[in-house]
A and B are shown apart, each in its own frame.
Chain A
Amino acid sequence: MPPSDGIALLKTTLAMVLAGGQGERLYPLTRDRAKPAVPFGAIYRIIDFTLSNCVNSNLRRIYVLTQYKSISLDQHLRLGWNIFNPELGEFLYTIPPQFRTSETWYRGTADAIYQNIYTLEQERPRRVLILSGDHVYKMDYSRMLRFHEERDADLTVACVEMPRERARQLGVMEIDADARIVGFEEKPADPRPVPGNPRAALVSMGVYVFRTETLVRSVVEDAKRNTAHDFGMNIIPDLVSRGRVFAFKFHDENRKEVQYWRDIGAIDTYYEANMDLVGADPLFNLYDRAWPIRTYQEQYPPVKTVFDGEEDAGRPLLNSLVAGGCVIAGGVVERSVLSYGVRVHARAKVEDAILMEGVDVGRGARVRRAIIDKDVIIPPGCRIGHDPDHDRRRFTVTEGGVVVVPKGMPVD
């Protein structure tokens, strides 16, 4: 395809980022913020990965559909993503529910689009790229758009191979030799294996390219039925049986041996995905200049480590991500992710933990396998993540054994 066609392809595509889910399985991290606005990887918010994919794909016409607890998400987008030039036809706008064709909040992903048909009418794109604001991955969407056009598809669904046990939580598809989807099932009890690999299934990444007319007809018809109003449960299975629906195999710009795509649905997934960043050879690479991940960065002084003369203050920082303004004053931090302005005092030890902005770890405190949300002050000598029974009485502890201390919670 000549370059000019490539540009036309991007200019006639509209991206709609679904950012309105309640994120109940991420509670209490979503107590005060929308899931896409949950801090991730020391300086990012989860939505930055999807938006960076858009910009790195040269797709610069974006609507973000917000809903619950959207203040911090909205602020983040205004401060960090105000980089589009409307004079060149580029934009990023957030749209809260308009109650134009409905008197309810979004009842599902398909309903979120149905309630925004007016926006599609105003923009009249040829195709719509539907994205989620809570996935971590690197993808060049222009490859998928080209694939969609070449197949003259009504719908193209991005897919990735996944171990079958994890596929039970996702949409699983079956394809023929031409990559046409011939079967699609959301959250199947027994996911159908990929031919030639009985342990893997082909799952939907929640990334869809629709011919605009197909999308509008599908969501309009769906709105008249009493369904879950969900793309995976209702729209895709329905279209598979009567339209041209293709699977686009994920081409990972992360360029590691194993493809990286994570749906940050639950706290354990969130925790693991953060930990995927801290290894010596991390599973997910934030340092590739060819695929920059953009965010909003506040002004902070440089990271400081202080040796206070005590014996065990030898290696203050190991295998960790540390944002600006952090001061490690005689404590030790290992395999952890620290957001802006965290303080770790003398003889304190932080291991395998995520500490969000402004957390203060007191002298001699111990934190292990924990997520400490914003502005929590951990008093001197306090232990978190060392005594599961005691932790369960005070905090949320996940199935995977990760302790979560909610934002601003007083700890004693």
Chain B
Amino acid sequence: MKTILVVDDERNLSLLYEQELGEEGYRVIVANNAKDAIDHIEKTPPDLVVMDIRMPGMDGIEAMGRILSRNNQMPIILNSAYSSYKDNFMSWSADAYVVKSSDLTELKREIRRAFERREKA
């Protein structure tokens, strides 16, 4: 079973992700800030990370840089309520950029794609 680490400071949203992605057959772990996420990845690396950008403390783009510097193969999907970060070059290291929505179809699709790309490579 693939493990997905969801990094988001909004607990309600994390719960939604946990439930919906769980139904897709993934094991979901939640971190509520970037620092906890990095610590967690260090100890037990997940198969994919869904990362919010705007969070108190370290933001998701900075956290992504740190995660990739230790493991350049880690699939990361940026997931933000704002589309404005999409053009930011710093966010181009992500496997995908998904604007938050109550409908998780796009996020689920990008997760599948990221796994497929890794399997091909």
Contacts and interface: CB of A to CB of B under 8 A. Distances in A.
Interface of A: 100-104, 117-118, 120-121, 216-217, 220, 223-226
Contact of B93 (A104, A120, A223, A225): A223
Interface residues of B, number: 13
B93 A103 contact: no
Contacts, number: 37
B58 interface: no
Contacts of A217: 92
A224 B73 CA distance: 6
B68 A216 contact: no
B69 A104 contact: yes
Given A100-B65, A101-B69, A120-B89, 15 more contacts: A101-B65, A101-B68, A101-B90, A102-B65, A103-B70, A117-B89, A117-B92, A118-B89, A118-B90, A217-B92, A220-B92, A220-B93, A223-B68, A224-B73, A224-B93
Interface string B60-103: 00100110111011000000000000001110110000000000
B29 to A, nearest CB: 23
A102 B66 CA distance: 7
A101 B93 contact: yes
B90 A121 contact: yes
Nearest to A99: B69
A121 B85 CA distance: 11
Interface in B38-71: 62, 65-66, 68-70
Query: Closest 9 CB pairs between A and B?
Result: A101-B65, A121-B89, A102-B69, A103-B69, A216-B89, A117-B89, A224-B72, A220-B92, A220-B93
A382 B89 CA distance: 59
Contacts of A104: 69
A157 B69 CA distance: 29
